[in-house]
Amino acid sequence: MKKVLEVNGLSKAFGGIKAVNNVSFELHEGQLLAMIGPNGAGKSTCFNLINGQLRPDHGTIVIMGKQLNGSKPRDVFRLGVGRSFQITATLPSMTVLENVQMALLSFHKRTKSMTRKVRSLYVDEAMALLKLVGIEDQSNRSCGVLAYGDLKRVELAVALANQPRLLLMDEPTAGMGVSERMTLMELTSNIVRTGNIGALFTEHDMDVVFGYADRIIVLNQGELVAEGTPEEVRSNQKVQEIYLGTGNEPSAPPISQAFPPRRAQGSGPMAILAEVDNRLLTMNDENNDIMLNVEGLNTFYGKAQILFDISLKVRWGEITVLLGRNGAGKTTTFKSIMGIVSPRSGKITFKGQEIHNLSPFKTCTLGLGYVPEDRRIFSKLTIMENLEVGRQPPREGFEPWTPERLFELFPHLKVRRSQEGGRLSGGEQQMLAIGRTLMGNPEMIILDEPSEGLAPVIVQQLEKTIRELKNIGVSNLVAEQNLTFAGSVCDMAYILYHGSVCHESTMNELSKEVYEKYCAL
């Protein structure tokens, strides 16, 4: 097999931080090579060096036999390199079809042609690519309203528009459900093998990595610390310690095992709530223990209705999860609660106060925190400055959050506390977004895909933190694709299907059959 990529002694430093340090590896045609490692290990920096977005300090990059050190991204693109990004980089004001058409215009060198209307060019070719990635039915929708997982499909179609010989995919399945992830990777695997393409991808889902990678390389603190077959990497003790987590299976259990066993009667969520300290309201009055109450919520984007009579409750000290396929309405529900999107009708109360007509900052001052799926950190501010932006006065009965306390949860941020947010990896930005919200000392937190982009060992720490927050009475409303994570921390579950609540139960009562019917493809 021919080499499509050869990296030798690649190094890149930002100030005193060595993001990539003397990394070498090869990738052959028809092969999927996974690059894994802790958040901030240097994976995205390595991708940006290969793609020409960054210039290496040392080392060489050879693509299809041509050395490209210092080449611009457009030159790398012209050589036959397709790229998808950790944080999606589509054009939000344009439709799905138009995004792919733009990529095709570039590939066919028609970006400066004025002889025909752009919308009429390469429509059939673009639709074929959208059909290939399974998103042709949304071709006329704006990318700005798509679910995150669907944006990942659009990015793959854009990358394939270049007819690449080398495909770079930075967390390609982020934001997707279990079945969607496997479907997309099965598709990618077939494209790579039948087209003799070399694919380098990063991923935190170990089912995807161990299920589809031919070989795996592992980075830690910018250095290559292990490489080999999936079996060799899975059993590597150092990889377990720094990334996979010791004493746990490297990959998540099957869906059938992700549902927790039934608790004995009297030990469910309400029994747990009764053990929360006496600051909380009595559990005897069902109306008194509701912290967040959403009734008959209807939300539109323009003339398109997204939410249909959504009703849900979150009790004091309880963790509630929203489940559903991409596009089911989970993020729109969160944005409607926070006031980012104004619902057309319905009622939302928080701690007994109506909030559906409040602006987001007023909702936050009441004690409702929000961690958005796209993080929204300030790229030009340092980690410390981002945390200070989120600071609010302590709330009675709660230990105030401080940077020092957050660094115990996310020690990796402490090392980079003076680094700008825009230079952090996607996983580090996720940690920072969670930390910034906690600095607001919320009594309830809305978390949109909190485990997305985090290394397995960090997800384990996050599970522990959410349980600790629950123990001190902080409620959580979570949207999560990682069913194992949701099953380990959540009490109540609502399933959204086409913008409506189709199922409500305790997490213990949620059956595999119901989950697969409404959440799996």
Over range 218-244, report the average pLDDT: 91
208 and 330 housed in the same domain: no
Which of 192, 222, 247 terminates a domain? The answer is: 247
Model confidence at 114, pLDDT cuts 50, 70, 90, reads low
What distance in Å separates the CA atoms of residue 442 and residue 329, rounded to the nearest whole number?
A: 24
What distance in Å separates the CA atoms of residue 362 and residue 187, rounded to the nearest whole number?
A: 45
Closest CA to 347 of 387, 394, 294: 294
pLDDT over 90 (residue 78): no
Handedness of CA 110, 115, 117, 123 (dihedral sign): negative
Tokens, residue 74? 């457009």
Asked, for residue 441, whether it belongs to a domain, the answer is no
What does the pLDDT read at residue 422?
Answer: 84
**50 contacts 61 by C-beta, under 8 angstroms:** yes
Residue whose token pair is 């589809």: 212
Residue 44 or residue 285, greater confidence? 44
User: Side chain identity at 195, as an amino acid letter?
Assistant: G
Asked, for residue 104, whether it belongs to a domain, the answer is yes
Residue 287 or residue 444, greater confidence? 444
Asked, for residue 445, whether it belongs to a domain, the answer is no
Residue whose token pair is 């090869």: 26
243 and 279 housed in the same domain: no
Mean pLDDT, the chain, rounded, equals 85
Asked, for residue 117, whether it belongs to a domain, the answer is yes
At 49-71, the pLDDT tens digits run 998 989 999 999 999 989 887 78
pLDDT over 50 (residue 249): no
Which of 247, 276, 295 terminates a domain? The answer is: 247
What distance in Å separates the CA atoms of residue 413 and residue 433, rounded to the nearest whole number?
A: 11
Point out the least confidently predicted range of 209-218, 312-321, 411-420: 411-420
Q: pTM of the prediction? A: 0.67
Tell me which H or E stretch contains 104: helix 96-107
201 and 117 housed in the same domain: yes
Provide the percentage of residues in the chain whose pLDDT is more than 70: 90
Asked, for residue 235, whether it belongs to a domain, the answer is yes
Tell me which H or E stretch contains 347: strand 345-350
At 143-166, the pLDDT tens digits run 988 877 788 889 989 999 989 999
DSSP string, 450-496: TTTT--HHHHHHHHHHHHHHHHTT-EEEEE-S-HHHHHHH-SEEEEE
231 and 327 housed in the same domain: no
Question: Beta strands 353-354 and 345-350: pairing type?
Answer: antiparallel
What distance in Å separates the CA atoms of residue 37 and residue 247, rounded to the nearest whole number?
A: 18
29 and 112 housed in the same domain: yes
143: containing domain: 3-247
CA distances from 308 to 128, 311, 446 (A): 32, 9, 20
Structural domains in the chain (count)? 2
What does the pLDDT read at residue 132?
Answer: 87
